[in-house]
Amino acid sequence: MKIVLLGAPGAGKGTQAKALSEKLSIPHISTGDIFRANIKGNTPLGIKAKGYIDKGELVPDELTVEIVKDRLANPDCEKGFILDGFPRTIPQAEYLDKVLNNMKIDLDATLLINVDDKDIIERMSGRRTCPNCGASYHVVFNPTKVEGVCDVCSTPVIQRPDDAAETVLNRLETYHKQTQPLISYYEKAGKLKVAQGADEVDETTARVFKALGI
Ligand code: AP5
Ligand code: MG
Ligand code: ZN
């Protein structure tokens, strides 16, 4: 399946993408994870992206779209993919339509994971992520099996720098202004599915699978 995940920062896109990737054996592509890997590696892209990410703003479209195009051309995407955090603006969505059109593939669905702003703020403050493999946890809602250590690769987990309280508010504002218009964009295209994301992780996963008919 070819799936786009939409939702506010902290809605659980990364968490549900992981479940979908395991269930469907297709890659999870997160532009946020790609940027963070570039920041860690101090690449020219990482250096440019860091300034925007740390402020809770979007990285400019021209720095973002090429990465996704290259990633989708990888043979592991032939069976399908889960795009998490892309597209995030109308121009990015139009660009994606063009790229997929050229590749002669069609999106199966855009799934919106719906969570209220007040729940988002609580989630972000407790989030811990693995700087090595990108796995995401929550100190209360989704803890690591061994405290402070990634379940997948045993690396010590960290708090993401953009999860600082002021940055979270900015990210939410950016989401409402720039990304929320994609909901009606995909609704008009007849691609939109919605899953409520306020309940616990497993319950949300069940809803996500149901909304996608898998
Ligand atoms: P990105 O990494 O995509 O961040 P985001 O969209 O802000 O979303 P998050 O990763 O913070 O949240 P999530 O929805 O994945 O939730 P998670 O599963 O972790 O992007 C970062 C930055 O990069 C952007 O701000 C931007 O600057 C830039 N960027 C990226 N893509 C871009 C693009 N296309 N264009 C321009 N700029 C771009 O869950 C959150 C927490 O809640 C975790 O702790 C988790 O364990 C917990 N949790 C999850 N589900 C539940 C549940 N059901 N109940 C309780 N807790 C839960
Ligand atoms: Mg994420
Ligand atoms: Zn890890």
Domain of 200, in residue numbers: 2-117+180-212
Residue 123 backbone zone (phi > 0: left; psi -120 to 50: alpha; other: beta): alpha
Q: Please tell me if the CB atom of residue 32 comes closer than 6 angstroms to any atom of ligand 1.
A: yes
| Distance in angstroms (rounded) separating the CA atoms of residues 156 and 150 | 6
| 139 lies in some domain | no
| 110 lies in some domain | yes
Q: Please tell me if the CB atom of residue 141 comes closer than 6 angstroms to any atom of ligand 1.
A: yes
| Distance in angstroms (rounded) separating the CA atoms of residues 170 and 194 | 24
Domain count, the chain: 1
pLDDT of residue 31: 97
At 47-101, the pLDDT tens digits run 999 999 999 999 999 999 999 999 999 999 999 999 999 999 999 999 999 999 9
Q: Which residues surround ligand 2, an ion (CB under 5 A)?
A: 14
Contact predicate 59/148, CB 8 Å: no
CA of 10 to the centre of ligand 2 (A): 7
| 26 lies in some domain | yes
DSSP codes of every residue in 11-37? SSHHHHHHHHHHHHT--EEEHHHHHHH
Instruction: Give 117's Cβ-side CA count (13 Å radius).
Output: 11
| 127 lies in some domain | no
Q: Which atom of ligand 1 is nearest to the CA of 163?
A: 11
Length of the chain: 214
Identify the band that residue 139 occupies on the pLDDT scale cut at 50, 70 and 90.
very high
At 7-50, the pLDDT tens digits run 999 999 999 999 999 999 999 999 999 999 999 999 999 999 99
Which helix H or strand E contains 136, and what residues bound it?
A: strand 136-138
pTM as predicted: 0.95
Q: Which atom of ligand 1 is nearest to the CA of 128?
A: 44
Nearest CA to ligand 1 atom 30: 32
Q: Round the average pLDDT of the chain to a whole number and report it.
A: 96
Known catalytic residues?
A: 13, 88, 127, 160, 171
Q: Please tell me if the CB atom of residue 14 comes closer than 6 angstroms to any atom of ligand 1.
A: yes
pLDDT of residue 134: 86
Identify the band that residue 166 occupies on the pLDDT scale cut at 50, 70 and 90.
confident
Contact predicate 120/11, CB 8 Å: yes
Contact predicate 129/160, CB 8 Å: yes
Please say if the pLDDT value at position 164 is more than 90: no
| 123 lies in some domain | no
